[in-house]
Amino acid sequence: MNRIEKLMYRSLDARLTEEESKTLKRALQESPQLQSRLDEITALREAAKSDGHEFSPWFDAKVMHTIKELQQNGIKAFPFQAYRTATIVGFAAIAAMLVIALIFNGSLSINSITGLDSINSENLTAFLAFDF
């Protein structure tokens, strides 16, 4: 984008200095393409400002009804309904970890699940140095 186009866009939102204003005015007089571009941009800005947006009948009532339905049905069981596959995979992974801990250690105590039962004061330094 060249300097004149930047001035043109800036003139739509802010005041230009006298020198910038003269430069832009001269460029608009010399270039009909630039003048048509400015007219087009001005028309688009005015169209965007208009309040001609219309929604379907009862739009607000439909939106509020949908929100109430989501609150009644969806929020209570959100993790299990929305992410059903991830929830099932997570539960399966937890069950597999418990089964593996039970097989290797013979119990489901917190120490056996976390692997802390294999650490004692005699091998703590070796564990921290090599296994941690």
Mean pLDDT of 60-78: 76
pTM above 0.85, yes or no: no
pLDDT of 3-49, one tens digit each? 888 888 888 888 888 998 899 899 989 988 989 998 998 888 888 77
User: Measured on CA atoms in the order 45, 50, 56, 61, is the torsion positive or negative?
Assistant: positive
Q: Which of 70, 71, 72, 89 is nearest to 80 (CA)?
A: 89
pLDDT band at residue 118 using 50, 70 and 90 as cut-offs: low
What whole-number distance in Å separates Cα of residue 65 and Cα of residue 44? 35
Residue 106, Ramachandran bin (φ over 0: left; ψ between -120 and 50: alpha; else beta): left
Structure tokens at 30: 């010399």
Residues 78-87: pLDDT tens digits? 556 667 788 8
List Cα–Cα distances, 96 to 66, 86, 91, in angstroms: 40, 15, 9
Confidence of residue 93 (pLDDT cuts 50, 70, 90): very high
The pLDDT value recorded for residue 92 is 93
- Classified as helix, coil or strand, 118 is helix
CB atoms within 10 A of CB 8: 20
